[in-house]
Chains A and B, each alone.
Chain A
Amino acid sequence: MPAQAIRILSFVLAAASLLLAPSCLIGSETKRRTRGQYIDVATFNSIQPGATQDEVFERFGEPTTRTKRDDTELWKYYYTEATTKRDRARRGRDRRVRQGHARAPDLAPVTAMLARAAIAAVLLAGVGPHDDHWALTAPHRPAVPEVTAKDWPKNPIDHFVLARLEKLGLRPEPEAPRAILARRLYLDVLGLVPTVEELDRFLADERPDAYERLVDELLASKHYGERQARLWLDLARYADTNGFEKDRPRSMWPYRDWVINAFNADMPFDEFTIKQIAGDMLESPTLDDRIATGFHRNTMINEEGGIDVEEYRWHAVVDRVNTTSTVWLGLTMACAQCHDHKYDPLTQADYWRMFAFFNNADEPEIPVPDPKITARRKPLLAEIARREARLADEFPVPDNIEWRPVSIVGAQAHNGTTLQERGDGVVEASGELPARDVYTIRATTDVERVTAIRLEALAAGGRGPGRTPHGNFVVTEIGLSKGTTKLALRHARADFSQTGFPVANAIDGRPGTGWAIDGAVRHHDRRAVFELAEPVAVRAGEQLVFSIAQTYGGQHTLGRFRLSVGTARQSGAKLEDARRAHLEAKLEAWIANTRAKARHWTALAPTRVVSENGATMTVQGDRSVLVSGDWPQTDTYVFEAATDMPKVTGLRLEALPDASLPEGGPGRAPLFKPGDFLLGEIEIEAGATRVEIGKGTQDYAHSGRPASLAFDGVLETGWSIEGRTGEPHQAVFAFTRPVVGPTKLRIVMRQHGIHQMTLGRFRISLTGDADPIACGVPADVEAILLDDHRSDAERARLREQFLAVAPELADARRAIVELRKRLPKYPTTLVMKERKPEHDRTTHLYKRGEYTRPAQAVSAALPGVLGTLPSGPRNRLALSRWLVSDDNPLVGRVVVNRMWHSVFGRGLVKTVADFGTRGSPPSHPELLDWLATEFPREGWSFKRMLRLIVTSATYRQASSASPDKWRRDPDNEWLARGPRFRVDAEVLRDLCLTASGLLNRKVGGPSVFPPQPDGVTSLSYGAMKWRTSTGPDRYRRGLYTFQKRTSPYAAFATFDAPSGENCVARRARSNSPLQALTMLNDTVFTEAARALARWTLARAGTRDADRVRFAFRSCISREPTADESSALLAFVRRQRERFERGELDAKRLAGATSDGNAVEIAAWMALSRVLLNLDETVTKG
């Protein structure tokens, strides 16, 4: 006899012994505890040895509600507590027998009953040895059973269902009325209700196959994918935030779009599976294939300071194992994390072998190029390129212009500022202080040929130059005309510009940008010079008109300023020659200066380079080391190399940018200071000797974090480059005494900041030159500087570098930086990326499933009971293929069962996530197997399977039934009526929006923020602000609502929507007063009621009765009964009277835009609220 059966038998014996020994043996507590959980004595008696399973089923009715408690718990109870009590009772009884107060019981019938009980229990449990468990054997395709009522079935499903009903003596309900059936179909296929127009169209279709046509029409709708995606996202534990304390937003919606599109395209389930589990491992994966792997990136990320990041990666992998098992195997693999599964044939080793499949992936975030965004980037990129190419032309010509203040003729402001002339070209503003203003200044000059103008912003007495209290101003645009001729300006430069407000903005033709001067020093004179594109001749008395616009706002107007005009000593070609000469002179000086700091460096190729905390180190062609993969909180890099240099005086550490790093690097910090790093300590050993560092220099360091802190012996302090990410940097460590080579070097870099502030790409070089210092230019430039025979390319490189740092061009470069900032970014999404085989992680079995207790190493394999993978690599891809192969006995059953669950509200296997021995046996095992085999035969097509289900007679039954039927089968296990249950949270929202005509039917895109009561998100950490969407985004479908894990959208949580923290195969379906409050009072539903009122008034004519009918059908689809109509009519009239009498303020209800129609809108809104709150509205019936 199989071990499992023995266990069950002994268990039943124990249980039955209690049952059979009622009050005389055991106290009343035991009776109470066991009552209702086991079959009663009379029932045991009715079973004869040799009974078949079917007979047992018939006798007992519902076999699945039998065992409700954990049998080990009961086991423990019987053999500890109860045994003691029983023994005590027995001793008492024996005593009474001895004393002649009682008769000894006759135990013979009890023994006989026990035997029967054991048989019954084994048959009922349907438990054989482990590998005989029904779900673990491949489904066979059963014959479609014969039925008596031959005209009822519409497809094979109905044969299976009816055969069981006939056996049970139950009759199916008649087909539901057409309107109700249509509503049910809309809800199941689209998750929406039909509009009155859609309904009328269907009802008017008298063709015999009108229903099937509707099914096909709905399956082709783009909204089909949205409904099915929402069901899948429950399993995928989709959310828009990372979870845990910080719970920051993440960009994951491209994955959601992928799921919607996959369903709409009816992607076969096998392909759907492989792409989500291992799309990155397919041969030349497409972007879409990679996005699909987001399925397993929906795990949570803990970003709390001070955590061990690897521990939370490990938790995420645990989640992946559990979720994969639930979704594709219907097995509770999670139980085996800590110990062998107690009931199912899954060992703890099986668990960690599964873990190994998922343990070799990195977890990057990738951009999702979007042609629309590419198109928007294009002109900006062109402008950047243009400006970069022109940098040299922007180089100033020094001391070239002779300036003369203009003579002011008149100064006017357009928005009320008073302007007064103060002589010497000075204008002063006073009086009103408008938010924005434009100054027009007319002036003459005796300069005959004007090549440039100058604006001096003047501060005075601790105030100004702007009129804001802090002295700042913005010149959004400066213009110059002569008479009516506009004169073009170019080459703007200023002695100072505020970050984000370069002076070039004042002549860029854009009203939103400008020149401003806020910075460390306030109340300071500032000057800006603008050259004229073409010199202009000015005759005596001729007027120049200056226009100084401030359209930025916030009263940032100029307070006091001087206007001058000037003539260049040179002009035209000569001027350009002077400009070039000036540039060349500066360039040569720069080269000479920089060269003095340049040293000869030799980059080291490491013999070994490792990260102590598991990051992947890749040595690149240029000898730099790129760090990827694991992203530990803190890390120590060990870099080993050999050098044959006879003398080493110093070491250069280059921190290099890379596109794979946050903000381009060079650090890996993903948040708070993205792209930065903190090098706490650098330690150098030559041979076995510690090298003493004497001096540290760097090209750049964040304030208070110079390289010298990287060898001060304090781990917490170090070198960081915050503020200048995306660029190469270098620190040079000069040795106190030269190291004599050849020698082996070991360089240890300790990085112990918080929030993953480790280096992302670096290169180490050595020099033997005296006084090693940081030269301040990139390494290649430094090398060129030392070379006396430079090629043209090398000269060009030097020039390029000079243009990149020349202070003379600061403003021109800033304008380019600003442009770069304005480049629209591509959305990103989280994906899986398999590591290279050489970076495979070792997976361990963890004692008691605890992260801190790794034990022996294991390699990837299927759980033993499920067989083995075909030969070839054992990786995620192989696993994904196996999951949807014939060798997986579970997948077809598990998936069709979920589909059945979503339609009927109950799976054929009630425990949709547990097909193990502890799950419920299927109510219709043959039907389940038939469907499970039909699914791959139909090409793994969801659409075809759903079509099969919704066209069955079983599905089309009315959902009403006699009280007796409800009592007999409250869960509708036997399917003797149609499905009837409250719709899911998102569907509820969607149907209210559809009924009221508010729904925005746009498909896909980023998440939106529909209204919800104030303060819902403020209770979570960081009190995220919920920026309620305006416009059409207010009324998107529920699945697009931003899903914040630590404070989910309130109305959805109330209606049992999952938070995305776990894979959820079956939602709870509660019915609570809080739901009533939401439906009655929440903004979303109030807006829907108002909209339904307007919609009704606009579309349903002028008769109240017609309006009632329209509104009613919008919500419930069927026609109201006469009683319902009259009750609703009476209600709307009663409310209308109250509004007319002024008892209630119609405008408050109807809203501000009710334009004289407030009473009507308010009355119908009151009615609409009633309709939206009806049980029939919130229920799929």
Chain B
Amino acid sequence: MNGITRRRFFENCGIGLGRIALGSLVAGGSARSLLAGGRTRPPHFRPKAKRVVYLFMAGGPSQLDLFDNKPELIERDGQAIPKSVVGDQRYAFINPTSKMLAPQYRFRRHGESGAEISEVLPHLAGIADRIAIVKSMTTDQFNHAPAQILMNTGFPQPGRPSMGSWASYGLGCEADDLPAFVVLSTGGGPSGGTALWHHGFLPGRHQGVVLRSRGDAILDLGNPPGVDDRLQRDSLDLVSELNTGHFARVGDPEIQTRIAAYEMAYRMQERGPELMDLSGESPATLQLYGVDPDKPSFARNCLLARRLLERGVRFVQLYHKGWDHHSAVKQGLKTQCGITDRAAAALVTDLQDRGLLDDTLVIWGGEFGRTPMVENSPTLGRKLGRDHHPQAFTVWLAGAGIKPGITIGATDELGFHVVEDPVHVHDLQATILYLLGFDHERLTFRFQGRDFRLTDVHGKVVRKLLA
């Protein structure tokens, strides 16, 4: 392959080369010289994290019942929230004059770090010393779709590249047979839809590839009915042969890229079933996550996420919808924590046991928090819930480059406003990019005359979080 071909190839494939023997694809081409260009863009710093798994809790989990313990709310349960606190904040459903609601669960301190975690998250409490809790997240958006899109793309309207797409654009892929950016989802589709893992104006290869729980693991991964492996291989050989001949006549390096893309597609086909086959996982591991290998579930997705990360995937976005507790927040949290707590903690433990946590960043959190005020609406049939709350919410992080066993940030005594170390969505994004080795102000893409970046025109790295 000549220089142009090589450059284009790496710009175009969306899949890293890894161990593939490309020498066989293009007569006279040197596999080694191709491998030399395996990265799309050199990082700005030495990366702490090679890969990321983001457990996105769509709907907005209630920080006040999970992490941000406010005894004052017990005292003032049932009283109207002071106007001086609320200001002119707009709410989705409730009146700004609503009454306050006490925490629905008890809190205890855990581990040597003494992190405060609610009783409804017992498994997370067990790994309290391995995670860093941020109680001072804030966002600008108080509706699901815009807030989720902001959290995932740095902008509240759809159309910008998502975090995983930026990671793919910045780092390329380590795997030779899997995409750089993979998406899993349970609990129904998140409000933001595919905008959450869309490539935006970045080339299409940076789009998050959805790992499906029904049908082919990746869209069109399986051969059509009646086509066996040999026929597929035969067909690809002929395609390759004819394309190579055509390249000799025409000279367009794009043809070589296509030949390579077809070969990679074939490897993905080979690899896919192995990835999804959990029979090699030990009973202990299955037990740790609480996975039934045959049933799609959040826990199964967590385990699949680990397998993806092990196989060189850069960015795994794992969505779980179900946290929008406008009514009966207590019962809702019990249900959702029951589904997610054990597996999320297991993922951190499992990564650590396998030596992967050192260079894997784990993030857990939603798009906004929930109000200290109660939501009761006879018209909508709602009782003892909490409304959307953009001013303050909680996320936790673990792994690569994150200082374990710390809690940063604080809210006021009613849990309404952040009063210490505010971390805006863009700050979190800047920090994630930093851990991946990028200066968020310099990882840019020119589109319609302007250099765009994940953090728009904002964001600063949260130094306190770094180890």
Chain A residues within CB distance 8 Å of chain B: 32, 68-70, 73, 243-245, 247, 300, 302, 304-308, 315, 326, 331-332, 334-335, 338, 343, 678, 714-718, 753-754, 911, 913-914, 916, 918-919, 959-963, 965-967, 970, 980-982, 1013-1016, 1018-1023, 1045-1048, 1050, 1053-1056, 1059, 1061-1062, 1065, 1068, 1070-1078, 1080-1083, 1086, 1121, 1123-1124, 1127-1128, 1131, 1134-1135, 1138, 1143-1150, 1162, 1166, 1169-1170, 1173-1176, 1178-1179, 1181
Contacts and interface: CB of A to CB of B under 8 A. Distances in A.
Contacts of A1055: 204
Contact of A1076 (B3, B255, B262, B377): B262
A243 B265 contact: no
Interface string B237-278: 011011101110111111101110110111011000000000
A1150 B225 CA distance: 10
B28 interface: no
Given A304-B191, A1068-B203, A1073-B265, 19 more contacts: A68-B446, A304-B143, A919-B449, A959-B250, A965-B251, A980-B252, A1013-B216, A1019-B210, A1046-B194, A1053-B194, A1055-B204, A1061-B195, A1070-B204, A1071-B257, A1081-B221, A1131-B234, A1135-B231, A1138-B231, A1149-B227
B441 interface: yes
A603 B90 CA distance: 37
Interface stretch (B33-41, B182-190, B329-337, B398-406): B182-190
B195 to A, nearest CB: 6
A1134 B235 CA distance: 11
Nearest to B14: A1072
Contacts of A678: 379
8 contacts: A305-B92, A1015-B212, A1061-B195, A1074-B218, A1076-B266, A1166-B235, A1174-B239, A1174-B243
A118 to B, nearest CB: 24
Nearest to A916: B449
B448 A1016 contact: no
Nearest to B258: A1175
B12 A69 contact: no
A608 to B, nearest CB: 26
B254 to A, nearest CB: 6
A966 B254 CA distance: 11
A732 to B, nearest CB: 22
Contacts of A1170: 235, 238-239, 242
B224 A1081 contact: yes
Nearest to A1173: B239
Contacts of B450: 332, 334-335, 918
Contact of B158 (A243, A913, A1072): A243
Contacts of B158: 243-244, 300, 1045-1046, 1059, 1061
B79 interface: no
A70 B221 CA distance: 40
A716 B387 CA distance: 15
B145 A245 contact: yes
A963 B238 contact: no
A913 B450 CA distance: 11
**Looking at B239, B242, B249, B449, which has the most chain A CB atoms within 10 Å of its CB?**
B449
Contact of A1174 (B224, B226, B242): B242
Contact of A966 (B253, B261, B266): B253
A978 to B, nearest CB: 11
Contact of A302 (B146, B188, B218): B146
Contacts of B221: 1077, 1081
A1078 B209 CA distance: 13
* Leading 5 A-B pairs by shortest Cβ distance: A1046-B193, A306-B92, A1148-B226, A914-B449, A1149-B226
B251 A960 contact: yes
A911 to B, nearest CB: 7
Given A1061-B195, A1166-B235, A717 B379 contact: yes
B44 to A, nearest CB: 10
B75 interface: no
B220 interface: yes
A919 B159 CA distance: 21
A1063 B254 CA distance: 27
B193 A304 contact: no
A1169 B227 CA distance: 11
Contact of B238 (A1048, A1131, A1143, A1147): A1131
A332 B452 CA distance: 13
B418 to A, nearest CB: 19
Nearest to A322: B448
B265 A966 contact: no
A305 B146 CA distance: 12
B145 A302 contact: yes
A245 B242 contact: no
A854 to B, nearest CB: 14
B191 A1021 contact: yes
B349 interface: no
Contacts of A1174: 239, 242-243, 246
Contacts of B92: 305-307
A300 B159 CA distance: 11
A1174 B91 CA distance: 56
A1123 B257 contact: no
B345 to A, nearest CB: 26
Given A306-B143, A914-B448, A1074 B212 contact: no
B449 A1019 contact: no
Contacts of B249: 960
B228 A1144 contact: yes
Given A1015-B214, A1054-B204, A1073 B262 contact: yes
Given A306-B93, A967-B3, A1081-B223, A1134 B234 contact: yes
Contacts of A302: 143, 145-146
A326 B448 CA distance: 8
A266 B284 CA distance: 70
A1077 B269 contact: yes
B220 A1078 contact: yes
A1076 B265 contact: yes
Contact of A1077 (B42, B195, B218): B218
A1177 B142 CA distance: 48
B198 interface: yes
Contacts of A304: 143-145, 191
Nearest to A1078: B220
Contacts of B226: 1144-1150, 1162
A305 B142 CA distance: 11
B189 A1124 contact: no
B219 interface: yes
B379 A1047 contact: no
A716 B378 contact: yes
Given A1076-B264, A1081-B220, A1149-B225, A1070 B12 contact: yes
A1071 B258 contact: yes
Nearest to A985: B204
B206 to A, nearest CB: 9
A243 B252 CA distance: 39
A1048 B219 CA distance: 13
Nearest to B198: A1059
Nearest to B228: A1144
B280 interface: no
B190 A1021 contact: yes
A1073 B234 contact: no
A1116 to B, nearest CB: 9
Contacts of A308: 90
A332 B247 CA distance: 39
Interface in B41-97: 42, 90-93, 95
B110 interface: no
Contacts of A69: 444, 451
Interface in B163-212: 179, 185, 188-195, 198, 201-205, 207, 209-210, 212
B4 interface: yes
B234 A1071 contact: no
Contact of B219 (A715, A1074, A1175): A1074
